[in-house]
Structure 1
């Protein structure tokens, strides 16, 4: 595969922004990426680039984006040498947290069964055909590919984790450039204010990491066109309207968890930040079947963060992880 060059990688997106009258975003993004890759590169970037370069060139790839494991397939069986190169390159991009993926029958069993979350969300979404979609905190981009599989016209993910970008590029390097998908290694607050460019914005697994959840909701609303749709998924607890749990220190060994509201509190927050028609479409307990250690993610996972004597609680004694998905509109 071709060695990564950020100017080349994002050239189609830059042209798209210019042609659609969003030159200001292009200029801001070019400055941000220059700082990220040229002025202050990550210490592991050479290792990740080497892993990406190890992936073999494969002709006539057929992507399958609307199945549980985002799949890449070839009509011809890979030679042993190419298969070894493929696995070596993919293992060089470990740990894989969001997925699963199937690279030419090399199955990446990721820490999270992200397909379970997608299956819970999908029945409640507006038709994604042709929609411009933003995914905030997108990880490796698994859900971006599933959105394209549902007919989305353009998908952009933002996540500052640079390893996630190279995992995303491992997939993108094998699919058609006609699939308009990009992952930007930046934060939501790095986007231009009042962007109003997207029909649907997803924020899944982000809100509880924010010190100011209402500011996060306002930033999400700014990304949406009038009439756009927000898909919000976050940790919740039982309680009345107005109730929210703030951990003393850690929650599930995570220091950066700030607020776990009740579902009624979440709906109130959505109303207070100007969203309309907010509704809870799913509430699910996160289990060790959905989040766990695998051969592709060998660090501690959910089982290590729960009370060994009462798996319904975190190791700190708080209620165990329960996630709600809500959908709301921008007027």
Structure 2
């Protein structure tokens, strides 16, 4: 069952999202940073929202303690706290800068604390939580190019270490999730040389699965994963699960942040929800959903999966929260 509601106080896209429990113990969906409906550098925001999962009643909360808004940040829930990683700022002249800051957000107190910075600042990366302790940031964009790094944040000890590099084409805007000791990363945008010798951005059709070695979180055995029945797309919403890793929506044409491709063609949003079983290495086409793209995550709550904001098929920025209830 899928239903959508205009629940957010304001339209937002490219926002970092995560699940937590508020001071009343209620399951709550959180949204941080992102881009407003004007879709220019002026519309990049520091806003944050809290939405009670049971009712989808939303309210504005204090945003992260940064001077400038961020795009392409990513959030992850670990041991009852939410960690907010990086992103990039855009200046009036279009200059972009990857940011190193990492913040720990406490859903009970709604306070932010800065923790250890990323060794190599990345944005448009994917954050995958394993063992309710380690956050794997796989590939992503650093200032002026993609990197193949796998950077791991240890939330227990507030430290970073480097794991086995991502073996695929370095990408930004990829999607990924985890289950057990497995990570799955797919899609995104890679840089290639054009006919004129200049760099151009094209969609990546690669999917990779990684298995973390027992007792050695820095050691990942990577291998090619089968391609999904649809996509992979750019900036899909992805979520980790106990048995399955879910992917929803996404755009069919790479773009920076306004939804119009580097080639001048508007991206089309996908209306498909798919799932991957890492144990069987199999894909399932779960079903259809309202078309959407420009996501930084798919929130796994107690009552379903949630797409928070994003862009619709006409490239408009959305106030919608789409709830996907999975059949048991």
Give the TM-score normalised by structure 2: 0.29
Q: Which has the higher contact order (CA 8 A, sep 6+)?
A: 2
Greater CA radius of gyration, 1 or 2?
1
Give the TM-score normalised by structure 1: 0.29
Higher strand content, 1 or 2: 2
